[in-house]
Amino acid sequence: MNRGYEASHGGIVLFQVPSRRQRIARRRWTALGAVAAMAAAGWIIGALTTGHQEAGPNGSGAFSYYPQ
């Protein structure tokens, strides 16, 4: 019998759970992927909604509400 499939108590192991190190690594990669996905989504939405023209004297900008 293959010892890799035999538990220490003598029963059969149906599956193997990830180790603590593997769970931590998976959690870190998931968090990094979520941050990257949110950044990419924000960049895409910003690229689609913002015009590529230069703001003129009456254009919109960070301080366009205040008169000059």
Whole-structure pTM value: 0.52
Structural contact between residues 6 and 12, judged by C-beta atoms closer than 8 angstroms? yes
The model's pLDDT over 37-63, given as tens digits with 9 standing for 90+, comes to 999 999 999 888 866 555 555 566 676
For residues 4-26, give the mean pLDDT: 78
Going 14 to 20 to 26 to 30, the CA torsion angle's sign is: positive
pLDDT at 3: 46
Decide which of 9 and 41 is more confident. 41
What residue spans define the domains of the chain?
19-48
CB 30 within 8 A of CB 38: no
In percent, the amount of the chain with pLDDT more than 70 equals: 54
Q: 61: which residues sit within 8 A by CB, 6+ positions away?
A: 55
What's the distance, CA 67 to chain centroid? 41
